[in-house]
Amino acid sequence: MNNTVGENEIGCVRVFHFDPPSDDGPIFQFQSAIGVTGLNAEDVQHVVLADLGDMPLRSFLSVAYEIDAAALDKVTELDGLTGHVFIVRSSAFLDRPVTLKTDSAARLVATLWEPSKVGGFAPPIKTESAEGILTPPTKKKPSDAAMSGRIATIALLVMGLLVWVMIKVGG
């Protein structure tokens, strides 16, 4: 089982069997038992197994964390647990990388993986605007008015130049 939390690890769910010595801050006692200085409490779930009633821990993990039933069937350590378990997501560990103490009162029972939330791409959207072949835009032919304007501008410049030449010659 993986007792090292990598710097970029996501989607891993670790199940620890840990019976806190007292009811005073069980998450802080658990944190100390696994040798971690900080945990994000939102990503740590403390489960009293007796509170699950007839629901086995496997079913709870399958429903609450969407763990694949086939993966859960391979973990025999989940059978016969009593007392308390702490279910910890990768995102709970604030300082990374970290190596967890699993030889203490907190015993690592299972390392499981949540399904990837990043799915494949959706099928392409079929629309009329998406059909056709993309071609580079072609240069538009200038209109007759634009051409007339350009010719008039050139004619005015030529006449202005002629006037300037006449002034220079006559002056």
Residue 108: pLDDT over 70: yes
pLDDT mean across residues, the chain: 85
In this prediction, residues 51-78 reach a mean pLDDT of: 89
Residue 132: pLDDT over 70: no
Residue type for 98, please? V
* Per-residue confidence (pLDDT) for residue 123, from 0 to 100: 62
List the single range of 36-50, 51-65, 111-125, 157-171 with lowest mean pLDDT: 111-125
pTM of the model as a whole: 0.65
Quick one: which H or E segment has residue 32?
helix 26-33
Instruction: Please answer whether residues 108 and 16 qualify as being in contact, where contact means their C-beta atoms are separated by less than 8 angstroms.
Output: yes
Measured over the CA atoms of residue 60, residue 64, residue 67 and residue 69, the dihedral's sign is: positive
